[in-house]
Structure 1
């Protein structure tokens, strides 16, 4: 029988189970603990009794409750992010935050053993939620936040309770043993009243491909993350960096320093090509933003059933890029193909973007839409410079005439549009100009 340990009545704190590699080598059997944190005890966990949750006076069943569920722990060490996540969740609203500590079970060198324990741990957590419900708690006010393998564990709990859980958030759901799983064998939208998922490592052994929620956020396409090692010589970081980025992006979003807007699109390449920069579907709320509060988009997302949204990030905090929609009207005599470089200048500082995911076509009287994603938000913009590299290194330089160029800040609607009219560029040569207010009729 797997059970939950009851905490004592003393003032000592109950901490996350700290194991080491020797435990992992020998193997651990499943033992689940529930550690309660509230605004009254953010730095001192209190262990809950599985069958008598109300015996802990800090556990108020009338408050909403968020359960934080970690994933596979091959070293046995506590997750480095768990305390930070607890504090940030408590800042969102007055709630119970319960850390589901199944480190004994998750800490095994044999990953398949840990996978087998997710079902058993889910049954235990299901029983606890039923006891909460009998004590007056509403399942609709329960939010399960599962990381990696913990995302599927959350899905199993939700399925056990017939999808009556209020919300499940999956942070890069685990891929191994789940890539060919049916909806009943992994996290899926039917597991809760609302399911949101963030993908950061779909192209390696750790993350899960596809769409598994009412809304799926794909950071940088859901695969390779900026700043993560590209070769195996980086050691452990090469294997875990992309996968762990989901947690750090979510923490940043909860801290309200990121504001990562997701654009509904069929693919990341279409997003980068500027084909998916409108959000009329979600008006008047605009595009969904990663984070805790998705209430203003929830009704639309439930109606659409499954929505994929894409965004790009920088390599480090605060991760957010400054996105501009750039609309060009060209009038050059000769057809040219090229890569576009754009710089925004503010005083002596500048930020540059290279739009090179594919070579762009410039021909007579053609409208072209680009997505320009800058790593820095420089304000005010005093000057803009552009260069179109065509690769032509011999012969004369051809001229490219822009009848109009317009810059629209996508996530900053309060900022004015910037335009410039009738500019002549020589291929491979930079041209600088001061932006002007856009004419209302153009």
Structure 2
């Protein structure tokens, strides 16, 4: 009896080992060492397929016999994720994150374009040359997909840095008929000032959206999509090192922030409202907070689903949209429009410090990107952005800092202060009327409901 049980056990083990041997192994992104990067790599393009059925286990998809892969359905929407320059040869740290987050948006094919062999070179110019060759390779694959029944309308190309230009080249070779291209801080070196057929541009797809975070270094300046998002003006990002002594992070932090902002938006933890405007300074001055062109829809939101604003954006042509962020996830700032009407006797110039109180919690902002002008019966509009969202607001503190440290403190009469929540339009407006304060001295008050007759 014991011998029979032993034979049954051995048979069961053999069966499971046989089944395990028949399972497909996972195909991983190419992981190259520094030696390969140093001597230079020859271009070799791989396609790693992920779907909701194999989120944790990529399958390399053959460029020609892809119909034999049961997980790949050409009738489904297909998103290509295209990385950029890889000077170390290591896989991008964000690949697995973006795959999972894209799969949560819709049932789609996610194809990670692994051109690490070709992008991993100490010589950046070699990688730039390989962008065009990579695009030719992927374009041929998409054409074969189309021959098998795929719709170009359902193809979305997401390109990071050099990958954004790869996406642009693919789109151009397909006559601008792919559904969408998303460029995450398109690479600037070797692409600044070139003709539109040599970089990403709005004609490369039916809809092109671009996110800028490092235009003064590795990113590309200008407008290159139907909508261009500029985080913190598209330049230096909060929390990123300011000196070279921080090492690698000094070079890559601003550039990589585009990816992390996009991941946060995909995860629906950011929900960052953006404001179409002609410049970042106009945005900070509170001149572009209405989004009139998008009525009855709200202001656009950074993220994957831009369908509520797409038609308007296509009519407008090229739109610049600005927003500010915090240094850390979820990156979202709480924004208020602040309108002040002053009646002080003397002209004063200064910056505004605003505090919001909720219980024992306090959040503060300093509106100091320029000096504000306060004079008799003058309306001043400002944008106040806080790192924290405190609600309900029980008290407000206001200080106007003029830099006057020697002479007498002049008084300022505020006929009206009106604070409008921008990100939470359902919250009430907060007002205060006829307040007397001294320059450089904080005044604290409880907000009142806004009287329509004073608005």
User: Following the alignment from structure 2 to structure 1, what is the Cα–Cα distance between the partners of residues 109 and 435?
Assistant: 59
**One of 145, 148, 171 as aligned partner of 1:158:** 171
Is the CA contact 1:49–1:55 (under 8 Å) kept in the aligned structure 2?
no
Q: Which residue of 2 aligns with 1:191?
A: 204
User: Following the alignment from structure 1 to structure 2, what is the Cα–Cα distance between the partners of residues 414 and 184?
Assistant: 46
Q: Which residue of 1 aligns with 2:104?
A: 91
Q: Which residue of 1 aligns with 2:17?
A: none
* Pair 1:324-2:336 in alignment: yes
Residues 227-272 of structure 1 deviation map (CA, whole Å, 9 limit, x = unaligned) = 0001111111111000000000000000011111111111101111
* Pair 1:358-2:400 in alignment: no
**One of 69, 73, 76 as aligned partner of 1:60:** 73
1:177-256 counterparts in 2 under 5 A? 177-204=190-217, 206-256=218-268
User: Following the alignment from structure 1 to structure 2, what is the Cα–Cα distance between the partners of residues 10 and 67?
Assistant: 26
- Greater C-alpha radius of gyration: 2
Write out the 4+ residue segments of structure 1 that deviate beyond 6 Å after TM superposition: none
User: Following the alignment from structure 2 to structure 1, what is the Cα–Cα distance between the partners of residues 25 and 171?
Assistant: 33
- Structure 2: give runs of 5+ residues left out of the alignment: 1-20
Q: Which residue of 1 aligns with 2:135?
A: 122
1:352-391 counterparts in 2 under 5 A? 352-391=364-403
Q: Which residue of 1 aligns with 2:38?
A: 25
Q: Which residue of 1 aligns with 2:14?
A: none
**One of 297, 307, 314 as aligned partner of 2:326:** 314
* Pair 1:105-2:118 in alignment: yes
Normalising to structure 1: TM-score of the pair?
Answer: 0.97
1:235-314 counterparts in 2 under 5 A? 235-314=247-326
User: Following the alignment from structure 1 to structure 2, what is the Cα–Cα distance between the partners of residues 432 and 374?
Assistant: 18
SS across alignment from 2:229? strand
Q: Which residue of 2 aligns with 1:400?
A: 412
* Pair 1:343-2:352 in alignment: no
SS across alignment from 1:120? helix
User: Following the alignment from structure 1 to structure 2, what is the Cα–Cα distance between the partners of residues 170 and 273?
Assistant: 28
TM-fit CA distance, 1:10? 4.3
SS across alignment from 2:433? strand
**One of 183, 195, 198 as aligned partner of 1:170:** 183
User: Following the alignment from structure 2 to structure 1, what is the Cα–Cα distance between the partners of residues 38 and 390?
Assistant: 51
Residues 39-80 of structure 1 deviation map (CA, whole Å, 9 limit, x = unaligned) = 000000011110122111000111101000000000000000
User: Following the alignment from structure 2 to structure 1, what is the Cα–Cα distance between the partners of residues 103 and 435?
Assistant: 53
TM-fit CA distance, 1:395? 2.3
TM-fit CA distance, 1:166? 0.2
User: Following the alignment from structure 1 to structure 2, what is the Cα–Cα distance between the partners of residues 263 and 9?
Assistant: 54
User: Following the alignment from structure 2 to structure 1, what is the Cα–Cα distance between the partners of residues 23 and 146?
Assistant: 27
Normalising to structure 2: TM-score of the pair?
Answer: 0.94
TM-fit CA distance, 1:194? 0.2
Q: Which residue of 1 aligns with 2:426?
A: 414
SS across alignment from 2:452? coil
User: Following the alignment from structure 1 to structure 2, what is the Cα–Cα distance between the partners of residues 9 and 100?
Assistant: 26
CA RMSD of aligned residues (A): 0.9
User: Following the alignment from structure 1 to structure 2, what is the Cα–Cα distance between the partners of residues 264 and 271?
Assistant: 8
Q: Which residue of 2 aligns with 1:137?
A: 150
Residues 400-442 of structure 1 deviation map (CA, whole Å, 9 limit, x = unaligned) = 0100000111111111111011111100000000001111222
The size of the alignment, in residue pairs, is 434
- Structure 1: give runs of 5+ residues left out of the alignment: 1-7
User: Following the alignment from structure 2 to structure 1, what is the Cα–Cα distance between the partners of residues 145 and 377?
Assistant: 66
User: Following the alignment from structure 1 to structure 2, what is the Cα–Cα distance between the partners of residues 229 and 87?
Assistant: 29
User: Following the alignment from structure 1 to structure 2, what is the Cα–Cα distance between the partners of residues 10 and 66?
Assistant: 26
Structure showing the higher helix proportion among its residues: 2
User: Following the alignment from structure 1 to structure 2, what is the Cα–Cα distance between the partners of residues 193 and 274?
Assistant: 32
User: Following the alignment from structure 1 to structure 2, what is the Cα–Cα distance between the partners of residues 143 and 395?
Assistant: 63
SS across alignment from 2:136? helix
SS across alignment from 1:437? coil
Relative to structure 1, the CA distance from residue 150 to residue 9 in structure 2 (aligned partners, 3 Å threshold; closer, same or farther) is farther
User: Following the alignment from structure 1 to structure 2, what is the Cα–Cα distance between the partners of residues 169 and 105?
Assistant: 22
TM-fit CA distance, 1:180? 1.7
Q: Which residue of 2 aligns with 1:34?
A: 47
SS across alignment from 1:118? helix
User: Following the alignment from structure 1 to structure 2, what is the Cα–Cα distance between the partners of residues 264 and 409?
Assistant: 18
